[in-house]
Amino acid sequence: MLALVLTALLGVVTGPMHGQANPFLWFAADKFFGGIGGRLDRRERGAGDLVFRGFFVTVAGILFAWVLGNAAAELSLQRSFYGAMEVILLSLTLTGGAVWYSLLKLYFALKEKKVAKGAYYMIARSARVDLSGVDDFGITRNGMGFAARAFDKSVVAPVFWYLLCGLPGAYIYAALAALAWRFGKDGFTKGFGRVPLALEQLMGFAPHFLSGILMALAGLFTPTGGMTRAFGGLLKSGGRAAYAEGGLPLTAMAHSLNVSLGGPAVDLDGSTMKRSWIGPPGATAQLEAGHLRRAMYISLMAYLLFIAVLAGAMVWAG
């Protein structure tokens, strides 16, 4: 809980690091493996060759995270500082305030019809979507979608694995999520990102359900949000996002706010991602600053609900 509060406060104050609102460990994994992975991920190669290459990069990323996680666990024992060290080391797998900072900057740019420095860049860099040539509606949809995904991959799932396996578990999940974000292309990878996507989905399966439920519950506390609409959307077969495209949290946000999210996009590497449209039938996809404000609100409510769930679990456990 302290790590979540620390991440929220620092992110709001400092903003994204180098324009990226994802966790610090995602940034580190991208620095270590993004360059070499980008050179190996050649679209002219066959699918089998790309899967083989992606497998080795993924194994290297897992080993890197395992060593780093065990070193962090040892450091937290040797230099505890009354538990503060573990709070700081866990916060490296999380994000929160930086996401709201990015969305708020985008909100003012859209509202005032004025391009603010870095407003579009932060969303493009963090979501890995090429926003050049995309209209304001599309930029808003991508910003809202990023908020839903960040809550799942960079808040709930790392904490889930920390509670199960300590810092090594949180670090390994963060590394897999970072590789899936970097090379997975929302499930439209030709082959290189299949292994990290599959392993991340395996580790993220259980926390993914919790993220969707919390996002749906957050609609109860969001102006014009609809908790019953959100749960109805989660239970329906149509208008739902595939796991790699945002899954249950994105579905819950779209139905709760009665909007259409997702849609085709282009990855920063130039790959086309033919993502589905997510939301209730007839919902508008022409989203503006007001819709972005509601997305910020519902993601904040989901964040606070998660902290409340952790507090309740701690009390219940004695």
pLDDT at 141 over 70: yes
CA-angle at 173, arms to 169 and 176, nearest 5°: 145
pLDDT in tens, 3-18: 999 999 999 999 898 8
The predicted structure's pLDDT at residue 105: 93
What is the C-alpha separation between 282 and 280, in angstroms, rounded?
6
pLDDT band at 28 (very low <50, low <70, confident <90, very high): very high
Range of the domain at 291: 2-316
pLDDT in tens, 227-239: 999 999 999 878 8
Task: State how many domains the chain has.
Answer: 1
pLDDT at 70 over 80: yes
The predicted structure's pLDDT at residue 276: 94
